[in-house]
Structure 1
Amino acid sequence: MSTFERYLTLWVALCILVGIAFGHLMPGFFQTIGSAEVAQVNLPVAVLIWLMVIPMLLKIDFTSLRHVGRHWRGIGVTLFINWAVKPFSMALLGWLFVGWLFRPYLPADQINSYIAGLIILAAAPCTAMVFVWSNLTKGEPHFTLSQVALNDGIMVVAFAPIVGLLLGLSSITVPWNTLVLSVVLYIVIPVIVAQLVRRGLLASGGQPALDRLLGTMSPMSLVALLATLVLLFGFQGEQIIAQPLVIGLLAVPILIQVYFNAGLAYLLNRALGERHCVAGPSALIGASNFFELAVAAAISLFGFHSGAALATVVGVLVEVPVMLTVVWIVNRSQGWYERGGARSVALVPTSREG
């Protein structure tokens, strides 16, 4: 992890302050940006989102899906957590904390929007930072790559239905046209563009050419994320100043779902006898979120001023420090994990495959 990535939470916090300050000093500028829309899609934000997402998707090699069967236990656990547990548990936690326990302390007109943002945040598994987390836990690289590629493929078809279902169950009106458009703009098109660029570079210059491009574009991706946050908080500033506890309260269900899903994935892998080098990244992929997509979808569906957009940004704010604690737990518990059964010992030699 680079120094810049390690202090992402600090940069996010600074962007919050800068965005709020600029929102007060230059309200006309933010209104102009907010009005630059075509078919409910904000064009400046769309460009920033593409700059965020495409460099990450360039790292994904869909041919790695041939390794899926090699780690079927870990793959099965992660798929179960990502698609059958995490979105639904977040919807439950959002309803419990935001819709009930914290309701008296939050703006009444934003309750449903906050819950919607939490659902959107949990409905897409992370595609980029998990490579960092996996490396920090000495994770099996073929498993991590094939799992992320598989999740990306599923996300193309499953993100919109799951979000629509859970928003409907939460009695939130689902703008289906905008939701489908968001999937096309922020998942389908970036996947196609990234894979075409990837194949072209590998065909003409090989892996060194791809690595050079990734070295150039990866910092651009984080800068685009931070610029998006400045815009978002330029619009959200008044609400945050009026309700300074909102960010802390929204962080509670996010923190609970991260540790719950990571712990559940880790324990299920241990129960099934999967190796630690697979269980570690499985837990981390199961717990982390594709917050770049979540921010874009929330803005497209509910707007800059919405509680949904703010809720997804809280996910960005807590992502790095919380996931680093999960990495620490996974590494420190390796001895306990490997005492879980003979099967994990019997499978150790296969870690050298590929």
Structure 2
Amino acid sequence: MDEALDAVQLEGISLPIAAGLLVMMYPVLAKIRYDRLDAVTSDRRLLVPSLALNWMVGPALMFALAWLLLPELPEHRTGLIIVGLARCIAMVIIWNDLACGDREAAAVLVALNSVFQVVAFGVLGWFYLDVLPGRLGLDQTSLDVSAWDIARSVLVFLGVPLVAGYLTRRLGERARGRVWYEERFLPRIGPAALYGLLFTIVILFALQGEAITSRPWDVARIALPLLAYFAVIWSASYTLVRLAGLGYERTATLAFTAAGNNFELAIAVAIATFGVTSGQALAGVVGPLIEVPVLVALIYVSLALRRRAASSVAEHAHARTW
């Protein structure tokens, strides 16, 4: 089965994974009120921390954890650094929605990350795998990836569902009105997002299950820095933005945007550069298999913090009445 699924590719992109992500992202992107995006693009308290966390803190943190926890495993270490460079443009949409984050803010941040991904991925790969290790006296690795490969990933995994969601809202509201669209149509397509998520996870296991089960110790070593990365980057992002005075919805959006990674791009780059059986590719595959349960757990943490904040506000309001 894994060979059959692996054969269903177009220009190096797994069609089953692309289909799963499309089904997963489309309902969420169809929920976005695109006429409200200007309220997000003008909020510097959201945009500036997001760019800093995604393109400065995130890659640097993964680089440090990879070298600290995998000093004698150069292939796995390089794979993790590549994962850290690939910022999330797909699954963060569903994490944000499940955590009741700001959909419009998520759309803007994902689009912003997509632009930076095309421009910065290759440059950061050169810096973190060649320049910085050389300056620190560490082993150096080269990364050969074209801007077109990255742009193609962005177009497939974000562009297609984004255009579909935008056109659905525009045409649906024009034909039947916003009330019908949001109260009748969206509830019907909403469950498809979870079906797409489950399908994508199953496909990932089917494609790489043998490599994972045959190398359990390597998987455990790779999982350790990943667990540390997701916990640290999410917690730091949530705390930073909360202290900046943003409400829960945008705080959750920024935290999940900073914590997620574009696993499809990381896997594709690792396989194209180092080979399908390489340690770099294995690290890329282990990434989403660790990310999914960890971020699901963080969704519950986020919702608990939301309830706690709401309860605190209610208590203050009750105290004032007395």
Same fold? TM cut 0.5: yes
Aligned to 1:159: 117
Of residues 231, 234, 242, the one that matches 2:203 is: 231
Shift of the 285–251 alpha-carbon distance from structure 1 to 2, 3 Å rule, reads farther
Counterpart of 2:262 in 1: which secondary structure?
Answer: helix
Counterpart amino acid of residue 81 in structure 2: I
Q: Distance in 1 between matches of 2:293 and 2:152?
A: 26
Q: Distance in 2 between matches of 1:83 and 1:62?
A: 26
Aligned to 1:175: 145
Counterpart amino acid of residue 315 in structure 1: E
1:228 positional shift? 2.4
Q: Is the 8 A contact 2:89 2:154 kept in 1?
A: no
1:201 positional shift? 0.9
Q: Distance in 1 between matches of 2:205 and 2:155?
A: 26
**Structure-to-structure mapping, 1:89-238, within 5 angstroms:** 89-98=61-70, 100=71, 103=72, 109-120=75-86, 126-134=92-100, 144-168=102-126, 169-170=128-129, 171-176=141-146, 177-207=148-178, 208-238=180-210
Counterpart amino acid of residue 127 in structure 1: I
Aligned to 2:137: none
Whether 2:255 is the aligned partner of 1:287: answer: yes
Q: Distance in 2 between matches of 1:221 and 1:110?
A: 32
**Structure-to-structure mapping, 1:313-324, within 5 angstroms:** 313-324=289-300
Q: Is the 8 A contact 1:118 1:311 kept in 2?
A: no
Q: Distance in 2 between matches of 1:219 and 1:335?
A: 29
Describe the superposition over 1:242-295 as per-residue Cα deviations: whole angstroms up to 9, x where unpaired: 3324555444434434443344344444554x25xx1x3344223324999723
Q: Distance in 2 between matches of 1:61 and 1:75?
A: 19
Aligned to 2:37: 65
1:83 positional shift? 4.3
Aligned to 2:287: 311
1:172 positional shift? 4.9
Aligned to 2:133: none
Q: Distance in 2 between matches of 1:309 and 1:241?
A: 12
Q: Distance in 2 between matches of 1:285 and 1:252?
A: 25
1:181 positional shift? 1.0
Shift of the 322–271 alpha-carbon distance from structure 1 to 2, 3 Å rule, reads closer
1:332 positional shift? 4.2
Q: Distance in 1 between matches of 2:54 and 2:265?
A: 18
Aligned to 2:19: 47
Shift of the 324–35 alpha-carbon distance from structure 1 to 2, 3 Å rule, reads same
Counterpart of 1:173 in 2: which secondary structure?
Answer: coil
Describe the superposition over 1:300-326 as per-residue Cα deviations: whole angstroms up to 9, x where unpaired: 434576321221231112111133224
Shift of the 221–300 alpha-carbon distance from structure 1 to 2, 3 Å rule, reads farther
Shift of the 40–247 alpha-carbon distance from structure 1 to 2, 3 Å rule, reads same
Describe the superposition over 1:151-200 as per-residue Cα deviations: whole angstroms up to 9, x where unpaired: 13313311233332333222352422322211111122322222111211
Shift of the 53–300 alpha-carbon distance from structure 1 to 2, 3 Å rule, reads farther
Q: Distance in 1 between matches of 2:5 and 2:239?
A: 47
Counterpart amino acid of residue 295 in structure 1: F
How many residue pairs get aligned? The number is 293
- Structure 2 unmatched runs, 5+: 130-140, 318-322
Q: Is the 8 A contact 2:62 2:229 kept in 1?
A: yes
Q: Distance in 2 between matches of 1:270 and 1:44?
A: 38
Whether 2:216 is the aligned partner of 1:244: answer: yes
Shift of the 81–331 alpha-carbon distance from structure 1 to 2, 3 Å rule, reads farther
Q: Is the 8 A contact 1:124 1:159 kept in 2?
A: no
Counterpart of 1:127 in 2: which secondary structure?
Answer: helix
Q: Is the 8 A contact 2:30 2:166 kept in 1?
A: yes
Please identify, of 59-68 and 287-296, the stretch whose mean Cα deviation from structure 2 is larger. 287-296
Report % sequence identity.
21
Q: Is the 8 A contact 1:291 1:312 kept in 2?
A: no
Please identify, of 41-50 and 193-202, the stretch whose mean Cα deviation from structure 2 is larger. 41-50
Q: Is the 8 A contact 2:99 2:252 kept in 1?
A: yes
